[in-house]
Amino acid sequence: MTHFAFREEDLTLEVDYVVVGSGAGGATAANELARGGATVALIEAGPWRDPEDYPSSTYGAMRDVFDDWGVGIARGRALWPIVQASCVGGTTVINCAICVRTPEDVMLQWERDLGVGNKAWRDAIWKHQDKLEVELCAEVVPPEAAGRSSLLAAKGAEAVRYDGHPMTRYVKGCVGSGQCLQGCKQLKKQSLNLQFVPEVMALGGTVLSCAPAERVLLEGRRAVGVSGRFREPVTRRKGGRYTVRARKGVVVAASVTRTAPLLMASGVKHPLLGKGFRAHPGTGVFGVYDHDVDMNVGATQGWASVQYRIEPGMKVETLSIPPEMVASRLAGAGKELVARMGDYRRMAMWVVAVRAEAVGRIKRGLLGEVSVDYSFARPDMERLRKGLALLARTHFAAGAVKVLPGIYGLPYEIGPDQVDLIENGPLDPRSYILISSHLFGGTTMDKDPTRGVCDEYGRVHGYEGLVVADASVIPTTLGVNPQHTIMALARSFADRLLDA
């Protein structure tokens, strides 16, 4: 088992495959390649964090495991943060491990509109998802671990008469510690730094951490390796350089905001590189009850509804956040904010995420800086507004005494007879506290090389031995959490490489 962390010395290696990125796509692809007998080097920009070293606070998580302290921003009419991790295991360390199968209607759309896949291809993806659910112990959140916030959401949805369900997650024996966003110290969440990455090493693979990739090495139009430089994660002090040669190919899974810029820096040429960026932007609404909810106790996310995934195009779910994050979302300062935080134990937060129509672009600046241009379309804001109104009604149906809409221009709190204020609220995205952790595109799939960067197996059109295996290839929004889809695609792409 070989692991190279930050080091001053230069390093040169040679393997069959180099995989850049150790999140849902990269770790899964590396694992499948190693299981198939290939020698693999897995390169990760961030550090290795053992569960006992996971931070206990949001601040600590931003410092230790979030990419750029969690302050990556998409720019457009509104600024909104992009949340990703930078550590071995990637965002699987800090997400809620939600497991949702790829919707058939989405894959049929890909086949119809983009020439991506067919029935056999779809069946293979679902078969991979069958296996992943077993390997990563996918379980439905049990009532005893759900927490009061999720139980209230289920009660409210039933009263408002729409369908919902306890989430299925890659969690084995959840104890409801509410630490998903910081990393699960209880070792219950099956994040890939605990599962697939150690297996890669046990099968003879090598892991480089604190090792941002700078270039994919090309000989003509064939990918032959990756080069970069070690970087200390806190001080960002630069260390030795590394070069990893690849006898058979390079798999890039550096994240939606990093994969396309890395290919740009490497000299990969395609007119659509960086284009087709999409997202599930969302926001939340607080309900305040006449009894303690203690949303920081129980599964961070335990209940969801996808009834409105296709029309109007949104999903709603619970999301429990710690006091410091609540304080950053509430209006007011000083004594006023302190007084409002007195409601914390009685709060439940539920969120809406929309299948946005807007399409953006990922750019790489002259000095290597990454930026995302993205402006919300009016229909996206209308969906968001509908979702918030639905959640407000759900809160009141569950017994909330007031709702905090968190919308500029509306009262700080509203009662049951004021939900129409949300329904008729502003459509300016600057009026909302927006966030997105579900990102897609930048190297999208399409059978036609003039319409997409990659084919249906992630192979970059016009290049040999170069595959993308993260959400960058996904050409549309899904309307569901994407981790299960990303891992199944990555495993399928790796199998194709092994069969070549």
Using an 8 Å Cβ cutoff, are 259 and 440 in contact?
Answer: no
Using an 8 Å Cβ cutoff, are 439 and 277 in contact?
Answer: yes
DSSP letter assigned to residue 359: -
The structure tokens listed for 104 are 């058939």
φ and ψ of 403, to 5 deg: -125, 140
- Please give the Cα distance from 271 to 212 (Å, whole number): 25
CA atoms within 13 A on the CB side of 131: 12
Catalytic residue among 128, 270, 280, 438: 438
DSSP letter assigned to residue 90: G
Q: What angle do CA 70, 280, 94 make, to 5 degrees?
A: 40
- The type of residue at 449 is P
Q: Is the dihedral of CA 167, 172, 176, 181 positive or negative?
A: negative
Q: Is the dihedral of CA 188, 192, 195, 197 positive or negative?
A: negative
Active site residue 3: no
Largest Cα–Cα distance in the chain?
A: 67
The structure tokens listed for 130 are 């069958």
The structure tokens listed for 312 are 């109007």
Instruction: Write out the H or E segment, with its range, that includes residue 498.
Output: helix 483-499
DSSP string of 363-398, one letter each residue: EE-TTS-EEEE----HHHHHHHHHHHHHHHHHHHHT
CA separation, residue 280 to residues 328, 394, 441 (Å): 21, 21, 12
Using an 8 Å Cβ cutoff, are 178 and 193 in contact?
Answer: no
Helix, strand, coil content of the chain in percent (nearest 5) = 35, 25, 40
Q: How far apart are the first and last CA of the chain?
A: 27
3-state secondary structure of 236: coil
Give the residue carrying structure tokens 């993205």. 374
Nearest to 34 by CA among 168, 153, 198: 198
Q: So which residues are the catalytic ones?
A: 438
